[in-house]
Chains A and B, each alone.
Chain A
Amino acid sequence: MKTMINLESIEKHFSGSVVVPPLSLSIQEGEFLTLLGPSGCGKTTLLRMIAGFEQPTAGEIYLDGKALTSIPPYQRDMNMVFQQYALFPHMNVEQNILFGLKMKKVEAAEQQRRLEEVLQYTQLVELRKRTPKQLSGGQQQRVAIARAIVNNPKVLLLDEPLGALDYQLRKSLQLELKNLQKNLGITFIYVTHDQEEAMAMSDRIAVMNKGRIEQIATPAEIYNHPKTLFVATFIGENNIFRSGDASIAVRPEKIKIYPKDSELDKHRKNGTITDMVFLGNMSKLFIRLESEEMTVLAHEYATESRGWQAGDQVAIGWSQADEVMLT
């Protein structure tokens, strides 16, 4: 494994305010890395700096060992899939896909060969003469990806590429994208605010907040061992118990519910079920604690249902192994 992209103390200021404080990050060849965070967290700015549309205020970006700062976007060996696809409306599918090869003065026969290959690969053969206007959202998205990968980039940058599509289509395209990345072996840098999407596709996720990377790890590590309060609450649902300066997080599915005054457990707390939300395979139970101002969320799977109802007095507990210390 070699490092494909290396960010060294990258900083970005916009008219005096710091959008990205010094940040370092390295991305391996063939890796699917997701920059995940709420809007305004700096993830898109970071992606645009890698693409070359924004200049870092300080620091250096390396692509495959080569410093990029002085290289304009059109000479960087990477391609971007834009949020609204940015397909050229006055060109048909073929012309859109060929644009990059024409600009790089690739030989005509080679252009045709790569065009056919990528059309096959993205299942756009029948749509090749259509203009973007005549395509559905999902088809436009495929053209955007075809237009990028036909150039054989070292890195593909994706800026919320599924954001404009409906839920069902997004789900199926997540899988398609992941497979595409595996088969092509291209390094993917993927920006999204959708944690489910990040979990489903990434090798590693960098969770960003206020321009900083709060944690960078595999999806399982991020979910099971969040390092900070932000990560613990941004990814999935969590219960945060505070005592003094320390905070611990316990996932709702790790919370066990007992009848009051039975099955004593040292982590137990007493409370009352205030609400129940039925979700099919499981229910969400909201439990108001007696001892502190807090409502705990617990998941109870349908197969293990014990028939709790709103208003029941219960005790909750969890095993120590499921506690995560936050900093």
Chain B
Amino acid sequence: MKALRHRTMAGYSWAMLVFLYLPIAVLMLYSFNDSRINAVWSGFTWKWYVSLFDNRQVMEALWNSLSIALISSVLATVFGTAAALAMKHYSLRWRSVFNGLTYLPIVIPEIMMGLSLLVLFSQIHLELGKLTLIMAHVTFSLPYVIVIINTRLADMGKELEEAAQDLGATAWETLRHITLPLISPSIIAGFLMSFTLSLDDFVISFFVAGPNSTTLPLYIYGLVKRGVSPEVNALSTLLIVFTVLLVVAAELFRRKDSKSLTF
């Protein structure tokens, strides 16, 4: 009886996973399909991947995506870390106000964020392009960086910093020798998170991209309008694999960090 119930539960869990991952698995599978028609399997091939790398437009979109992701995530990480460190010094009441305002953009519908950024950029007559994309990506990545580092700082408490000061370290020396080394895994996790968010973003980018700043998700969307080709599957597969790797790396850094504080 117990074994039966156990098996039913396990079966349910597997069914859940199939439900979650079947669409992605199908997409990945057909990226290796020899036939141009998605519905028919006619043998294994790498050719769609090869043709991707020969495609100048794809390479340009890839370059746009990577450069925007890199610049925006570096900026978001620097600003976010500084903001989290500054927020620590506010009194409890102000800190919760700041925290609340920081988390809000995470739950605001992306389409609103995109629209409001578009309105803002056109108000200040900023031409849509890479610059506006980077600014938008920094905006939506910042809250995540701040949340990750805030959590870490809260776990760390103030005793270690006080101990450093007690031993003769100035505020700057404390930051350099104690605080930054101890939160560095969270800083890296925040950076990887921003990078992933930037790489994957479609909705907000759709509003603020210009003609010469097409990113990969935007390019894929453009292709889909002309029908789903095996190249799209191949490109999506690459994007998914890369994203998963980044997220796993971010999580590993975050875990390493929370472990390092407990004796």
Task: Please list the residues of chain A having a beta carbon within 8 angstroms of any beta carbon in chain B.
Answer: 51, 53, 72-75, 79-80, 82-84, 86-90, 99-100, 103-104, 132-133, 135, 140, 147, 151
Picked from A132, A147, A151, the residue with its CB within 8 Å of the CB of B263 is A132
Q: From residue A149, how far is it (CB to closest CB) to chain B in Å?
A: 12
Collect the chain B residues with CB atoms within 8 Å of residue A72's CB.
Answer: 165
Collect the chain B residues with CB atoms within 8 Å of residue A73's CB.
Answer: 162, 165-166
Picked from B159, B169, B181, the residue with its CB within 8 Å of the CB of A103 is B169
Evaluate contact between A100 and B182: CB separation under 8 angstroms: no
Given A90-B181, A90-B182, A103-B173, decide whether A51 and B166 contact each other with a Cβ distance below 8 A: yes
Given A74-B170, A99-B177, decide whether A89 and B261 contact each other with a Cβ distance below 8 A: yes
Collect the chain A residues with CB atoms within 8 Å of residue B170's CB.
Answer: 74
Evaluate contact between B182 and A82: CB separation under 8 angstroms: no
Closest to A84 in B: B159
Evaluate contact between A99 and B260: CB separation under 8 angstroms: no
Task: Please list the residues of chain B having a beta carbon within 8 angstroms of any beta carbon in chain A.
Answer: 159-160, 162-170, 173, 177-178, 181-182, 260-263
Q: From residue A99, how far is it (CB to closest CB) to chain B in Å?
A: 5
Given A82-B159, A88-B160, A133-B263, decide whether A104 and B181 contact each other with a Cβ distance below 8 A: no
Closest 8 CB pairs of A and B: A100-B167, A103-B168, A86-B163, A86-B159, A73-B165, A103-B169, A104-B168, A80-B166
Collect the chain A residues with CB atoms within 8 Å of residue B181's CB.
Answer: 90
Q: From residue A73, how far is it (CB to closest CB) to chain B in Å?
A: 5
Closest to B91 in A: A15
Q: From residue A15, how far is it (CB to closest CB) to chain B in Å?
A: 9
CA distance A82 to B168 in the complex (A): 15
Closest to B262 in A: A133
Collect the chain B residues with CB atoms within 8 Å of residue A103's CB.
Answer: 164, 167-169, 173
Evaluate contact between A89 and B159: CB separation under 8 angstroms: no
Given A84-B159, A88-B160, A88-B163, decide whether A100 and B263 contact each other with a Cβ distance below 8 A: no
Q: From residue B158, how far is it (CB to closest CB) to chain A in Å?
A: 9
Collect the chain A residues with CB atoms within 8 Å of residue B167's CB.
Answer: 74, 79, 99-100, 103, 147, 151
Collect the chain B residues with CB atoms within 8 Å of residue A83's CB.
Answer: 159
Picked from B166, B261, B262, the residue with its CB within 8 Å of the CB of A79 is B166
Evaluate contact between B260 and A151: CB separation under 8 angstroms: no
Closest to A76 in B: B166
Closest to B161 in A: A86
Evaluate contact between A53 and B164: CB separation under 8 angstroms: no
25 A-B contacts, Cβ less than 8 Å apart?
A53-B165, A72-B165, A73-B162, A73-B166, A74-B165, A74-B168, A74-B169, A79-B166, A82-B163, A86-B159, A86-B162, A86-B163, A89-B260, A90-B181, A90-B260, A99-B167, A103-B167, A103-B169, A103-B173, A104-B168, A132-B263, A133-B262, A133-B263, A147-B167, A151-B168
Evaluate contact between B159 and A99: CB separation under 8 angstroms: no
Picked from B166, B173, B177, B182, the residue with its CB within 8 Å of the CB of A89 is B182
Given A74-B168, A99-B177, A103-B169, decide whether A82 and B162 contact each other with a Cβ distance below 8 A: yes
CA distance A122 to B241 in the complex (A): 53
Collect the chain A residues with CB atoms within 8 Å of residue B177's CB.
Answer: 99
Collect the chain B residues with CB atoms within 8 Å of residue A147's CB.
Answer: 167
In the complex, which of the residues B163, B167, B168 has the most CB atoms of chain A within 10 Å of its own CB atom?
A: B167
Evaluate contact between B168 and A86: CB separation under 8 angstroms: no
| 20 more A-B residue pairs beyond the given contacts A74-B167, A86-B160, with a C-beta to C-beta distance below 8 A | A51-B166, A80-B162, A80-B163, A80-B166, A82-B159, A82-B163, A83-B159, A84-B159, A88-B178, A89-B160, A89-B182, A89-B261, A90-B260, A99-B164, A99-B167, A104-B168, A133-B263, A147-B167, A151-B167, A151-B168
Q: From residue A95, how far is it (CB to closest CB) to chain B in Å?
A: 10
Collect the chain B residues with CB atoms within 8 Å of residue A86's CB.
Answer: 159-160, 162-163
Q: From residue B177, how far is it (CB to closest CB) to chain A in Å?
A: 7
Collect the chain A residues with CB atoms within 8 Å of residue B182's CB.
Answer: 89-90
CA distance A103 to B174 in the complex (A): 10
Collect the chain B residues with CB atoms within 8 Å of residue A87's CB.
Answer: 163
CA distance A72 to B162 in the complex (A): 11
In the complex, which of the residues A51, A72, A74, A82 has the most CB atoms of chain B within 10 Å of its own CB atom?
A: A74
Collect the chain B residues with CB atoms within 8 Å of residue A75's CB.
Answer: 168
CA distance A89 to B164 in the complex (A): 12
CA distance A151 to B167 in the complex (A): 8
Collect the chain A residues with CB atoms within 8 Å of residue B261's CB.
Answer: 89
